[in-house]
Every structure is written in C-alpha cells, then in structure tokens.
Amino acid sequence: MKKDYEFLNTEINGHVLEVTINRPEVMNSLHPPSHREFDEVWNEFDKDENLWIGIITGTGDRAFSAGNDLKYQASGEDRSGMPSSGFAGLTSRFDLNKPLIAAVNGFARGGGMEIALACALIIASDNARFALPEPRSGLVALAGGM
C-alpha cells in the first residue's frame, strides 16, 4: 500500500490499517485532494486480503475532523474530482465488506461526524465532541448525517 500521501498518514500493524488525517492546521478538515487520497486508500484496503480492519483517526487531540474545509471552498480553489465514494472516500462506499473503526479524538463536526457514522464502531476519547452544525449555515448533512 502506498505510504506517501500528502494529507493522510497510513500504517499497517498486522492485519490492521491505521489511517490518520494529517491536516491539524485546519482541524483535520477535508478538501477535494484529501478526499481523493482517502478514496485511493480505501480502494487499496478493499483489495488487500491481508488487511482485515481499518482505523481512522485525526492528528492531534484537538479534532478528529472538522468536516468540510470551508476556507478552501470559499477560496475558489479547484473543487472538481470529488470521488463517487463520498466524503473521505467513504460515506457513499456501500460495498466495503471490512469493518472500520473511528477513533475519535476532539471535534467530529459535520463531515467529520459523518465519517464516524460511516464506520462500524466509534471509539470516543474523553474529549470527543460530536456535532452536525450544517443547519446553522443553511446546509444539510447529506453525507450520512441525515
């Protein structure tokens, strides 16, 4: 499995793939390039018969993921190329037959909470906080929060 992602860190421990969102400067929020990396990771994970379980977490203890990178979106940067597999390459991936565990540390807001909801199991630290703030912005949590 490819190990040199720009926005994710991956590590294999036995039959377990650990994926860490590595964008702490934006509370591990995701933008299209990070979604594409996630899509690639889950595609490889699905194909690898030696990997049985996946764990997702975020760098640091401030945020698991703050969800969609709204500053990136507002900046007018390229938002094309979102994978059909959904937010974090996961929320519309209905054919993955391996369990995923969300190890939630800090905030899981919006899409971050939806990543956790897409997993089979959520393990939350004492400082984990879950929220779907989309309605306050006139948005809808369409990646699984509904």
Q: Name residue, tokens 């040199």.
A: 4
User: Which residues are known catalytic residues?
Assistant: 114, 134
Question: CA dihedral in degrees (13, 105, 29, 134; nearest 10)?
Answer: 130
Superfamily of chain region 8-137: 2-enoyl-CoA Hydratase; Chain A, domain 1 (3.90.226.10)
3-state secondary structure of 123: strand
Per-residue pLDDT of the chain (146 residues; tens, 9 = 90+): 656 899 999 999 999 999 999 999 999 999 999 999 999 999 999 999 999 999 999 999 899 999 888 777 767 777 677 788 988 999 889 999 999 999 999 999 988 999 999 999 999 999 999 887 666 666 655 565 55
> At 70, which helix (H) or strand (E)?
helix 70-74
Q: What is the pTM of this model?
A: 0.88
d(CA 112, CA 115): 5
Burial environment of residue 60 by CB neighbours within 10 A (0 to 12, 13 to 18, 19 or more) = middle
